[in-house]
Structure 1
Amino acid sequence: MNQPATATLPPQHQDQQPGIEAQMQPPPESEMAAYRGSGKLEGEVALVTGGDSGIGRAVAVAFAKEGADVAVVYLAEDEDAAKTRQLITDCGRRCILIKGDIADEAFCGEAVALTISELKGLDILVNNAGEQHPQSSIEDISSSQLLRTFQTNVFAMFHLVRAALPHLKGGGRIINTTSVTAYRGHEKLLDYSATKGAVVSFTRSLAKALIDDEIRVNAVAPGPVWTPLIPSTFSAEEVKKFGSHAPMKRPGQPDEIAPAYVFLASADSSFMAGQVLHPNGGEVVNG
C-alpha cells in the first residue's frame, strides 16, 4: 500500500447504485494483493453481503487468504461478482455467488440456506451491504427512500441474523458495517446516517443477547473509502474532493479496511464483543 499524503480523484459519476467497480478510475485497491494470510480462518465458512466489490470484496478475499470458504451476496453487479469469485478461487478456496436483494426478507433466508447447502456450514456473517441517497433537505427524503434505506441497511441485518442464528454454533461471529457518519453525522445523508447509528445500537444489543451462546458480535465504522458507492452516490465534482476532509487528507482503500474484519472474525479478538473499530483516516470519534 503506497498512499500519497493527499489525493485528488478524477471527476466521475455512475448513474446506478451500488455502482460498478470495473468502471472506476482509478480502480479501488480491493484485491488484497499484498496481504499474506496465516490460517486464522482455516476451514471456516463466511457469508459476506455486498461482497462483489469495495470493502466487501476485500473482506471476502482476505477471509479466503486466511483459509475460509466464502458466500458472496450481491445485488446485480455480475462482472464485479465474477471477479471476486476468481480472486477467492485463486486462493484455493470455494466461493459461491448469491444474487438478490437483501431488502427482501425471503431472499435473506434463501441466501443463508444456499450457503449451508453449498458450503456445508456457516461460521461468520458479515452484514456489509448498504445504500445511500444524498438529499439537500429532509423535505426531499421521500417515504419510499426512507423505507428503502432502512430496509437495506438495517432490516436486512435482522433478517440475515435470524436466518443464520440456528447455524452459528458456539464460537460464531457476526460483523456489521456501520460508518463514521453514525458518530459525526452528515447533513446530506440524514436517513443513511440514522441507519448507521441504528447499526451501532443493534451491534451492542445483539452482542449482549448472544454472548451466552458464545457468538461474538462486533462492527466496523469505516471513514471515507474509495468504493463503487461513491461515484454512484455523489456528483463528479464531489467525487473529486472525496476524502480530502479526513485528517490523512485522502480516502481509504478497501484493502486498508479489510484487516479490521479479519481481526474481528479471528481468535485474535476473542475478548471483544459489542465493539466498533474505526478505520477512518485519523478522525477521533470517541465511540
Structure 2
Amino acid sequence: MSKAKKALKGKTLVVTGSSSGIGLATAQEIQRLGGRVLGVDVHAPQGAAAESVDEFYKADLSDKAVIDALVYALPQGIDGLANIAGLPPTAPAERVLLVNLVGLKYLTLKLIPKLNDGASIVNLASLAGSGWADAISTIKASEDLDFAGVADFVRQHNVSSNGGRSYFFSKEALIVWTLQNRWTWRQRGIRMNAISPGPVDTPILGDFIQTLGDRAEKDMATMDRPGRPDDIAPVVAFLLSDQSVWLRGANLPVDGGMASHLMCEAYGL
C-alpha cells in the first residue's frame, strides 16, 4: 500500500451524514485510505452504503437529547470529526438552523473531550456562505444560540426560508465559527477547518435549484458541470489527515472555480 493510500491508516473518524451524498463519499474515501468510520445519520445506510461505515449511529442532530446520547455512545480516542450532515434550503428555517448550525456546534463541542490530541475537525460549509462579511451582526447574535431559542431567532432576525436565507445564514455562521476556532484547542493540537463546495450533484441539488431559481440556473450555466460527491470527499480526507496539520481556520473553496469567478466579477478582474 502506497503512502497516499495509508493517509488515514489507524485513525478513527466520525462522519455525520454518512448515509448519502458527500457524507457517504467521505466515508468511502476514509475507508479507502485505511481509516475506521463511525457513521452518523438520521437514516440508516442501505445496501452497499452500509459497507461504508464500520459502526453506525442513528441520530437526529436537531435534538439536543439525541446528541447527548450519541456523544455518550461514541468511544474515546476519536481522531477526527467530519461535520457533513445538513438540510437543504427547502427545509423549514428552524430545522435548517438546528441541524446545520446549532446541532453541529453542540455536537462538536461535546465531542472535544473524546478527541485525541492532534485530531481534526472539518466543517462542510458552502459557497452559499461566502457573503458572511455582510451578516456579521446577525452572526454575532447567533453565537450563543441554543436549541430552545431557534424559533425566536428566526423571527427576530428574519432568517426565514424565503430565498433560502436560512440555509445561506447557517453556512455564513459556520464559516465564521471555523475562523474563530482556528486556535481554540491549539495546545492539544486539535484543528478546525471548513470546505465550501459549490453546487454538487447530490439528492438535494434539486432543492437548491428550486429555491434559488434564476440565480441557480445562471451559476449552473457558468460552470462546466456541477460537482460530484467524489470531488469533495478527497479534500475532506486530506483535512482529516496528518498532511494538513498547518491548516487552521481555513475555508477551502471546492467549487470548480466558481468562487474565483464571483470574485473576478465583483472586482472587475
TM-score band, normalised by the shorter chain?
0.7 to 0.9
Q: Does 1:147 align with 2:122?
A: no
**2:80 corresponds to which residue?**
124
Note closer, same or farther for the CA distance 1:278–1:233 as it changes in structure 2 (3 Å cut). Answer: closer
Output the aligned Cα RMSD.
2.8
Q: CA deviation at 1:184?
A: 5.0
After superposition, where does 1:133-212 map in structure 2 within 5 Å?
Answer: 133-134=89-90, 145-184=92-131, 188-212=163-187
Aligned counterparts of 1:60 and 1:243: Cα–Cα separation in 2: 32
Partner of 1:255: 230
**1:115 counterpart residue number:** 74
Contiguous gaps of at least 5 residues in structure 1: 1-35, 89-93, 136-144
Note if 1:275 corresponds to 2:222. no
Question: Following the alignment from structure 2 to structure 1, what is the Cα–Cα distance between the partners of residues 226 and 56?
Answer: 28
- Correspondent of 2:188 among 210, 213, 216: 213
3-state DSSP of counterpart to 1:207 = coil
After TM superposition, the score normalised by the length of structure 1 is 0.72
Identify which of 60, 68, 71 aligns with 1:101: 60
- 8 A Cα contact 1:115 1:121, kept in partner: no
Q: Hey, what's the Cα distance between the residues in 2 that align with 1:243 and 1:99?
A: 37
Higher helix proportion: 2
Q: Is the 8 A contact 1:243 1:250 kept in 2?
A: no
Q: CA 1:96 to 1:187, structure 2 compared with 1: closer, same or farther past 3 Å? A: same
- Against the structure 1 CA distance between its residues 243 and 63, is the aligned structure 2 distance closer, same or farther, given a 3 Å change threshold? farther
Alignment coverage as a number of residue pairs = 230
**1:236-275 CA-partner distances (Å, limit 9, x unpaired):** 9x6xx86862643311110011111111011111111000
| CA–CA separation in structure 2 for the residues paired with 1:170 and 1:154 | 24
Partners of 1:169 and 1:235 lie apart in 2 by 42
Residues of 1 paired with 2:249 and 2:82: CA distance? 14
Q: Tell me, which stretches of 5 or more residues in structure 2 are unaligned?
A: 133-160, 264-269
Higher relative contact order (CA 8 A, sep 6+): 1
- Trace 1:13-28 onto structure 2 (pairs within 5 A): none
Shift, 1:188, TM fit: 1.7
- 1:227 partner letter: T
Q: Identify if the C-alpha distance between structure 1 residues 45 and 243 changes in structure 2 by more than 3 Å, giving closer, same or farther.
A: farther
Q: Distance in 2 between matches of 1:230 and 1:260?
A: 20
Per-residue CA deviations over 1:127-152 (Å, capped at 9, x if unaligned) read 111112349xxxxxxxxx33221111
| Cα offsets for 1:131-180 (capped at 9, x unmatched) | 12349xxxxxxxxx332211110011222112211111210110001000
| Higher-strand-fraction structure | 2
Q: Distance in 1 between matches of 2:112 and 2:175?
A: 19
Structure 1 contact 49–129 (Cα < 8 Å) conserved: yes
Task: List per-residue Cα deviations over 1:19-49 (Å, max 9, x = no partner).
Answer: xxxxxxxxxxxxxxxxx95111111111111
